[in-house]
Amino acid sequence: MDFKLLLDVVIAVLLAATIAYAVMLNKQLQALRKNRDDMAKIINNFNDATLRAESSIPKLRKAAEEAGQGLQERVEKAQTLRDDLAFMIERADSMANKLEQSVREARAEVKTPSVPPSLAAAAVARARSAVSAGAAAAPAAGSAVVANAAANAAPDFTVEDERSEAERELLRALQSLR
């Protein structure tokens, strides 16, 4: 009998341990079910976000293409403007060279003692016409370049005592272009 009682006690202890284990397992299953519901909500939200992102991709592509086309148009316009500016600079350089040559000729004619005043006046008139032609042919920025080039080409215009009347008139004409 002892043996049966001992066996019953062992079975009762094992059943109590099984019941305790079953209670803990039940709590964990409940937590898992709760987490599964939360996980299902998260998955649904993720799925919705994925669908919205997929529907936004064509809109983003279209916006990127439009921005690219706009940028390409601006680049082409900038290249055109760059070419125009390069042409204007070349023209201004050639005009400045012509003006410098006219100034040199006028100085040479004025400094020569055998040159009559009428020829000096003609040289000044030629220089003025070159200056006015340069101002008329070049845009506002170009005329400023011509005036600056003329000012840089003849930096010794500041001493008026050593200049003849023709040179002073030429100086005034160049300064009026600034």
How many domains are contained in the chain?
1
- pLDDT for res 3: 87
Positions in the chain whose pLDDT score sits under 50: 115, 135-160
- pLDDT for res 38: 86
Question: Are 146 and 177 a contacting pair, CB within 8 Å?
Answer: yes
- pLDDT for res 158: 43
Nearest to 99 by CA among 146, 164, 166: 146
Question: Are 146 and 99 a contacting pair, CB within 8 Å?
Answer: yes
The reply to whether the predicted model has a pTM over 0.85 is no
Q: What is the pLDDT of residues 94-122, one digit of tens each?
A: 888 888 888 888 888 777 655 455 655 66
- pLDDT for res 168: 80
Structure tokens at 95: 């005009």
Question: Are 143 and 135 a contacting pair, CB within 8 Å?
Answer: yes
- pLDDT for res 60: 93
- pLDDT for res 34: 85
Show the domain range for 107.
2-177
